[in-house]
Structure 1
């Protein structure tokens, strides 16, 4: 047997340790986003998830999100909010844009106004309607004035679409390189971003590679150890996790709120009248749907606004109180029979994303609708349809968000102008109690219109390997890339 001195053995052990540290920091964190068409390099006002993640990583806003979904400093290192909630004053950090132009109140204001303008006509643009003025103040100070207090305003400013650009480029915190269809991102050293230097930065930061993949392929590569984190999981693909043998310990569910249900998109024929659209909503057995979906903690609701919204004054409750499912279906079936008296029974096309979870959902809906005399046909997600799945996570949990998503301004085929009018009045009402009452009236009008059939809250899941750092489930389904690329200090 070959013997080595203890000092030699200790030296070898130290070398192995250092090599493993180097390997840990040199190896890219591999992230897959579900959705083969969801390019990380997409542009426009409505970004797919992969592009949102890249935008957040390469173009900070005034504020951003950490891995817990909390608002943190970004281009602004501190801020104050006036007591009336109508003025947000941001002090920008000392730094430059990628073209070496100084980061000033003027340049930040111009970038912010450009970002806001690009969101016109979108639901997020409507969420920002409380902004009255953006002012550049002395040096590196920006003030945003609101015409009405908005408790979740910082949450809105942290959204990926409000990452600020100058000449098409953002100021980090990561630098992007394109590798064919993958995005390779590297953390930028703090001192290069106008921040205090961090000791041992090179050993703490790692490069990260992000790619969009079909759901089955993303899960297979995760199981094979080729992918560290899978993001963007929805109900459509949730059953794949059991079928593919993914470890339960790797699955992370985000406790989100939002819209999950069917929007009426054909204003002709059977769906032309609100009472017939209501008949479909009445027929759904949401308890049976919850059992079929088999998602722990899933919350069903008949309301458009999720229960527990921050400004819910309690005047709008669950629908059809005191009526059993059988009683509701009896009323609904009578309406269908009246429609079908001199014509064929209704046959409705339901557009759903591909996936086993969608198949489970459709099977339940088909049985529910059949019970009242309606035939359902499943069609592709983007095909012509009568009803289309809406599956969107709330950016903030207040009535205004839900109403903006379903407003006429958001290009809904079927909408409620009266609900929009009341919501608009709410935005101008300074008294919180009166504003909440106007929002409740708007929800009631939208409910009467029956343009949207709620099932419950959305489902969002991720897969996370055991060695991953910088990931936490949170209510916003926000999982920024920068924390994933950093090792604990």
Structure 2
């Protein structure tokens, strides 16, 4: 008879170790630092940070998962087929049990998947899942996901941490997590305890992972001190910290990701009320110079919302202002600033004559409109702020840092695409996402595209949607996001990939 969940808990280790240094762990433990806040690994809810996603993926399997190279691999489902029309995915569930000891069945898996999908309602991720029609039980261990339309990247979506499946409020591994102070200790689950075939010498082939979530400076310092074997979750704001990493300590690994990296226009007040003025901001930016100080080889700037050359890209939308030099663009943008200033001054004079003058003087208008921007804390953000401030000053605008995204005129968007299709970008910037300005017309074209009957019609409508969103100038693109990790040479089970995703279970296998 298989042990119950209560029996597992009773057999769990009772000795808690402290995080005083590497000497506090045995040699079979891999120490991982993830950039974030201390309580991030223990978050719950719909949307969690990088640490929380890593923990969820490690402890709550979905139908499928990602390996270290970003490839979709079996998890609770050991095989699947896709019908010729692309509108039905049929999964055969593996033999074995849930962590509770109950057998994995189509009924229980359907219930768990329905619950997971329902929990994501009113999130941006739910927009990517809109094509799912229903989940059906086909046989004892076979379920079908029926689609309203083809979703070529459904497997990549099902492998996301948010679609891990709970049974009786508990995940099915492949690891278990124990909280030890601020440390999340992850222990690989012996497959035989889940009704799976036994793996000889399991304890000698796997190791624990001790995960800490720390600020960028703390995580890099821990790596440099030899107390962390791996640092994950690196973004642009902390990239300058990697200058302190010597070649003998490890290597800086960059993931070849695509996605959104730019500025969201948060309101349409004052200078930002006119799309042409919002375009002026985009025209002023020297994108090559923006990233030059980071010394990132291979990074490509773009003025397009959707990363060029993705699947379905017709190539009809090119880079903006390609016929103009940076100086010519800035001259056009500066003229728009002056026109707005003259109009604002004229309106102000009228109000003064009418006795409705507000506090303040005309000096601010003479110095140029002031734009506020929200950026995350970090040296990299300081570099971006200084460079953008210089770019905007070149057209007569003043830039200041805002305390939060809610009060800012502009906010940094820095998100990796879950799948490489235009619809991901357009969903992320849609009115349903409820983040800053948007375009109802662009959303309408996306809806039409999703209802299209041919790939050609769908691609054409997606192109129209991108054009509509571009014309509204509600998002100012820089290029692809930047994701980096620090990896000690002795670490196995890590690989860069296009999703920027680094699961923990592959890291738990001991090197042979």
Find the counterpart in structure 2 of residue 258 from structure 1.
Answer: 259
- Return the alpha-carbon distance in structure 2 between the equivalents of residues 327 and 131 of structure 1: 48
- Asked whether the 8 Å contact 1:30–1:226 carries over to 2, the reply is yes
Find the counterpart in structure 1 of residue 451 from structure 2.
Answer: 428
Deviates more, 1:90-99 or 1:288-297: 288-297
Question: 1:369–1:38: structure 2 CA closer, same or farther, 3 Å change rule?
Answer: farther
In the superposition, the TM-score normalised over structure 1's length comes to 0.93
Find the counterpart in structure 2 of residue 355 from structure 1.
Answer: 378
Question: 1:288–1:264: structure 2 CA closer, same or farther, 3 Å change rule?
Answer: same
Find the counterpart in structure 2 of residue 455 from structure 1.
Answer: 478
Q: Give the C-alpha shift of residue 194 in structure 1.
A: 3.4
Q: Give the C-alpha shift of residue 247 in structure 1.
A: 5.2
Q: Give the C-alpha shift of residue 217 in structure 1.
A: 0.8
Instruction: Indicate yes or no: 2:310 matched with 1:309.
Output: yes
Matches within 5 A, 1:330-369: 330-341=331-342, 342-343=344-345, 344=365, 345-369=368-392
Q: Give the C-alpha shift of residue 286 in structure 1.
A: 1.1
Q: Give the C-alpha shift of residue 163 in structure 1.
A: 0.5
Instruction: Indicate yes or no: 2:155 matched with 1:154.
Output: yes
Find the counterpart in structure 2 of residue 233 from structure 1.
Answer: 234
Instruction: Indicate yes or no: 2:174 matched with 1:173.
Output: yes
- Asked whether the 8 Å contact 1:63–1:73 carries over to 2, the reply is yes
In the superposition, the TM-score normalised over structure 2's length comes to 0.89
- Return the alpha-carbon distance in structure 2 between the equivalents of residues 287 and 390 of structure 1: 18
- Asked whether the 8 Å contact 1:301–1:318 carries over to 2, the reply is yes
Question: 1:481–1:202: structure 2 CA closer, same or farther, 3 Å change rule?
Answer: same
Find the counterpart in structure 2 of residue 198 from structure 1.
Answer: 199
- Return the alpha-carbon distance in structure 2 between the equivalents of residues 132 and 383 of structure 1: 35
Find the counterpart in structure 2 of residue 33 from structure 1.
Answer: 34
Instruction: Indicate yes or no: 2:494 matched with 1:471.
Output: yes
- Return the alpha-carbon distance in structure 1 between the equivalents of residues 171 and 410 of structure 2: 39
- Return the alpha-carbon distance in structure 2 between the equivalents of residues 44 and 243 of structure 1: 36
Gap runs ≥5 in structure 2: 1-23, 346-364
Q: Give the C-alpha shift of residue 245 in structure 1.
A: 4.4
Q: Give the C-alpha shift of residue 27 in structure 1.
A: 2.8
Find the counterpart in structure 1 of residue 43 from structure 2.
Answer: 42
Gap runs ≥5 in structure 1: 1-22
Question: 1:280–1:246: structure 2 CA closer, same or farther, 3 Å change rule?
Answer: farther
Q: Deviations over 1:86-142 (max 9, x none)?
A: 110000011222222221111111111111111112221100111111101210111
- Return the alpha-carbon distance in structure 2 between the equivalents of residues 247 and 451 of structure 1: 45
Find the counterpart in structure 1 of residue 88 from structure 2.
Answer: 87
Matches within 5 A, 1:407-422: 407-422=430-445
Q: Give the C-alpha shift of residue 381 in structure 1.
A: 5.0
Deviates more, 1:291-300 or 1:210-219: 291-300
Question: 1:115–1:329: structure 2 CA closer, same or farther, 3 Å change rule?
Answer: same
- Asked whether the 8 Å contact 1:33–1:211 carries over to 2, the reply is yes
Question: 1:380–1:469: structure 2 CA closer, same or farther, 3 Å change rule?
Answer: farther
- Asked whether the 8 Å contact 1:38–1:48 carries over to 2, the reply is no
Q: Give the C-alpha shift of residue 249 in structure 1.
A: 4.6
- Asked whether the 8 Å contact 2:40–2:48 carries over to 1, the reply is no
- Return the alpha-carbon distance in structure 1 between the equivalents of residues 500 and 60 of structure 2: 19
- Return the alpha-carbon distance in structure 2 between the equivalents of residues 248 and 254 of structure 1: 20
- Return the alpha-carbon distance in structure 1 between the equivalents of residues 124 and 405 of structure 2: 20
- Asked whether the 8 Å contact 1:310–1:398 carries over to 2, the reply is yes
Q: Give the C-alpha shift of residue 243 in structure 1.
A: 3.9
Q: Give the C-alpha shift of residue 184 in structure 1.
A: 0.8
- Asked whether the 8 Å contact 1:251–1:461 carries over to 2, the reply is yes
Matches within 5 A, 1:397-412: 397-412=420-435
Q: Give the C-alpha shift of residue 466 in structure 1.
A: 1.4
- Return the alpha-carbon distance in structure 2 between the equivalents of residues 157 and 26 of structure 1: 35
* Aligned match for 1:386, one of 405, 409, 419: 409
Aligned length in residues: 467
- Return the alpha-carbon distance in structure 1 between the equivalents of residues 33 and 404 of structure 2: 22
Find the counterpart in structure 2 of residue 329 from structure 1.
Answer: 330
Question: 1:308–1:106: structure 2 CA closer, same or farther, 3 Å change rule?
Answer: same
Please provide the CA RMSD for this pair: 1.6
Q: Deviations over 1:358-388 (max 9, x none)?
A: 1111111111100101000123455621100
Instruction: Indicate yes or no: 2:438 matched with 1:437.
Output: no
DSSP-derived class of the 1:79 partner? strand
- Return the alpha-carbon distance in structure 2 between the equivalents of residues 57 and 134 of structure 1: 24
Q: Deviations over 1:400-451 (max 9, x none)?
A: 0000110111112310011011101111112001000010000000101111
Q: Give the C-alpha shift of residue 259 in structure 1.
A: 0.4
- Return the alpha-carbon distance in structure 2 between the equivalents of residues 382 and 36 of structure 1: 19
Find the counterpart in structure 2 of residue 374 from structure 1.
Answer: 397
- Asked whether the 8 Å contact 1:38–1:49 carries over to 2, the reply is no
- Return the alpha-carbon distance in structure 2 between the equivalents of residues 365 and 24 of structure 1: 45
Matches within 5 A, 1:281-292: 281-292=282-293
- Asked whether the 8 Å contact 1:173–1:193 carries over to 2, the reply is no
Q: Give the C-alpha shift of residue 46 in structure 1.
A: 1.2
Q: Give the C-alpha shift of residue 38 in structure 1.
A: 5.8
- Return the alpha-carbon distance in structure 1 between the equivalents of residues 246 and 99 of structure 2: 45
